[in-house]
Amino acid sequence: MAVIGIDLGTTNSLATVWKDGKSVLIPNSFNEYLTPSAVGFDDDGELLIGKIAKERLISHPNKTAASFKCFMGTGKKIKIDGREFSAAELSSFILRQLKQDAETFLGETVEEAIISVPAYFNDNGRSAVKLAGELAGLKVERIVNEPSAAALAYRMSDDSSDTYLVFDFGGGTLDVSVVDIFDSVIEIIAVAGDNHLGGDDFNLAIAKFFCTQNGLDFEMLEPEQRAIILKQSEQCKISLSSNSRVGMMASIDGRDYSLVFDNNTLLKAAALIFDRIKAPIVKALNDAEMTVKDISDVILVGGSSRMPLVQKYLEALFKREIKCSVSPDTAVALGVGVVTGVKSRNADIKDVVLTDICPFTLGIDNYNDEDPYRPLFFPLIERNTTLPASVEHDFCTSVDKQKKITISIAQGEKYYFDSNLKLGEISVSVPPAPAGREGVTVRLTYDINGILQVDVTRIGTNKTKSKTIISNNTLSDEEIRKKLAELEKLKIHPRNNDEVKYLNARAQRLFEESKADTRALIRSRLQYFNSVVESQNLRKIREASVNFSKFLDIIDYTDNDPFYGIEEEDYD
């Protein structure tokens, strides 16, 4: 039975496996490695996962969901087609799809996975990922921090020992980590990030700039119009990663608007975003007690780090050329694949040691002289401490004749105890005595798998009471069985017509985005394509799919570009 590695991303997810001495990417039913982290229902109530669901995000916003990773462990419910799901349930659909793709690729059952999460994910987020795994029929014994995985992939392509800064810039988040690689030991020294900064912010900045330059008010547009402009903005941004000039066009209420973007225009539109990129880099370096000079290389991860402007900005900040030896899209997944090899004690890589850090502070409640009803947070294991970690501290009674000492444990960085995430509590009895006379030693021990052990010993007695806190956020076996039964009732559309469904969704999206004459063309081509599908002749369907896909490419990439066919020199 194989163990697979999974990068469960905000925008895209990937699966890998350790095979023939290396980490190998697993293709999906489209023979692609990136499966969009999108889920939806089609008009017959069948569940759509990945690329097809992503295509329907604009045309069927109420029947599709994406970017739900940021809600993992928050308790937020996401509504799709009148039904409510947690982010863990939606993620389980993606995981189930990746599991199936892996089984097809490997020709054997897959029952276990190692999944990566952002280093800053707290216990709730990590438990939600484990739950998503269970709901997808996958045992998730190990969770890996994304920067550790990226560094591991980098280490496989470059054997040097040094200190790196992993710059992970995705669709909605920026995570910066300082990672040390020495011989075969990979250690995260510090992590910092901005949970609300990513490629989506560039799309919004481009969309607003486009509207302002065209005399439109972005905020006043209909939600569907905003979604279309945002989609065009994303396309414009991505094109600017490989072209020096890109024309963007949008039809609003029957009128056409256009604007030419180059990287200078983009810099003007998105200046504020660059200001925000620097802050987490400074924080991670400060936490690691390092300067830019101590960093030997910057490892780029995440789709947004492909932007030439972002790379130039980092080159200016770090005063050096930034190499891209591992693809930013696949680095994390390839690294998780290496961990699966390590886990199965594969002979090729048994010498790699992956150490991790605690991404948040763990501490207990402490008496507040100024407000006895609002205890303070007393940190015991500081964030960025290398794991496993074990720290102890003595505490004494705070009032006369106190009969027991209750220790509450939380994680977070906030000043007051109740502003942090409470993980559990433990009480020990003490003989009544004047305040401060009786006391306990509290020891917190946190291991690499996120298991927290709390030991409370009464001073002078050596009597210890212990509690293990794995997480109070996972469901019981019975609850998981119930949830599974509920989810299994959902009909998943058959995989054999993935391509047909995808082309239909894509054609419908382009129909919505296009003008009258192009629309007529799309409709007739779509009708023809579906008539071939009705014929059930597989060879003809395959041929028609290739042709229809080529036709849609032309519409997607050229029809809406007012500069199509103009050579670069023609602009000047």
Contacting residues toward ligand AMP, per CB under 6 A: 9-12, 170-171, 198-200, 234, 237-238, 241, 302-304, 306-307
Both tokens assigned to 473: 């956020």
Residues 295, 278: Cα–Cα separation, whole Å:
15
- Residue 428 — φ and ψ, nearest 5°? -130, 145
What tokens appear for 472 in the block? 């109070």
Nearer CB in complex with ligand AMP: 328/412:
328
For residues 32 and 46, which CB has a smaller minimum distance to ligand AMP in the complex?
32
Structure tokens at 403: 């009969």
Task: Give residues with Cβ within 8 angstroms of 178, minimum separation 6.
Answer: 163, 164, 165, 166, 188, 189, 190, 191, 284, 285, 287, 288, 290, 295
Closest CA to 451 of 138, 148, 135, 127: 127
**Smallest gap from residue 157 Cβ to ligand AMP (A):** 19
Cβ atoms 120, 193 nearer than 8 A? yes
Pick from 14, 8, 339: which is nearest to 149 by CA?
339
- The smaller minimum CB distance to ligand AMP, of residues 245 and 465, is found at 245
Torsion of CA 390, 393, 398, 404, to 10 degrees: 50
**Least distance (Å) between residue 10 CB and ligand AMP:** 5
Q: Identify the CA nearest to 249 among candidates 308, 204, 309, 207.
A: 207
Nearer to ligand AMP, 306 or 458 (CB): 306
Shortest Å, Cβ 451 to ligand AMP? 29
Counts of helices then strands in the chain (DSSP H, E): 14, 28
- The CB-of-172 to ligand AMP minimum distance in angstroms stands at 7
For the bound state, the minimum distance from the C-beta of residue 235 to ligand AMP, rounded and expressed in Å, comes to 9
CB atoms within 10 A of CB 445: 19
Q: Could you give the angle at which helices 331-343 and 146-157 cross, rounded to 10 degrees?
A: 90
CB atoms within 10 A of CB 286: 12
Q: Which is nearer to ligand AMP, 280 or 302 (CB)?
A: 302
| Smallest gap from residue 237 Cβ to ligand AMP (A) | 5
Residue 368 CA to residue 410 CA, distance in Å, equals 16
CB-based contacts of 567, cutoff 8 Å, min separation 6: none
Q: Least distance (Å) from ligand AMP to the CB of residue 68?
A: 13
- Beta-strand (E) ranges in 286-352? 297-301
* Identity of the residue, 239 or 547, whose beta carbon is nearer to ligand AMP in the bound complex: 239
**Taking the complex as a whole, how short is the minimal distance between the CB of residue 238 and ligand AMP, in angstroms?**
4
Q: How far is the CB of 265 from ligand AMP (least distance, A)?
A: 15
Rg of the chain (C-alpha set): 26
- Which residues are registered as beta bridge partners of 178? 165, 190
In whole angstroms, the minimum distance from the beta carbon of 303 to ligand AMP comes to: 2
Measured CA to CA, the distance from residue 309 to residue 168 in angstroms comes to 15
Q: Which is nearer to ligand AMP, 69 or 483 (CB)?
A: 69
User: Cα dist. 78→28, 54, 96, 203, 501 in Å?
Assistant: 26, 16, 19, 23, 24
The CA-atom distances, in angstroms, between 251 and each of 232, 255, 335 are: 11, 5, 43
Nearer to ligand AMP (CB atom), residue 150 or residue 381:
150
Cα 283 from Cα 198, distance rounded (Å) = 18
Place of tokens 């306990």: 440
Beta bridge partners of 114: 5, 142
Q: Which is nearer to ligand AMP, 67 or 420 (CB)?
A: 67
Q: Which is nearer to ligand AMP, 232 or 457 (CB)?
A: 232
The residue among 311 and 384 lying less far from ligand AMP, judged by its C-beta, is 311
Residue 145 CA to residue 439 CA, distance in Å, equals 37
* Minimum distance of ligand AMP from residue 169's CB (angstroms): 7
Tell the smallest beta-carbon distance from residue 181 to ligand AMP (Å): 22
**Shortest separation between residue 8's beta carbon and ligand AMP, angstroms:** 11
- Select 230 or 421, whichever has its Cβ closest to ligand AMP: 230
Q: Which is nearer to ligand AMP, 60 or 237 (CB)?
A: 237
Nearer to ligand AMP, 186 or 238 (CB): 238
The answer to whether 512 touches 232, Cβ cutoff 8 Å, is no
CA angle 336, 305, 53 (to 5 degrees): 70
Q: From the CB of 34, what's the least distance to ligand AMP, in Å?
A: 7
129 contacts 90 by C-beta, under 8 angstroms: no
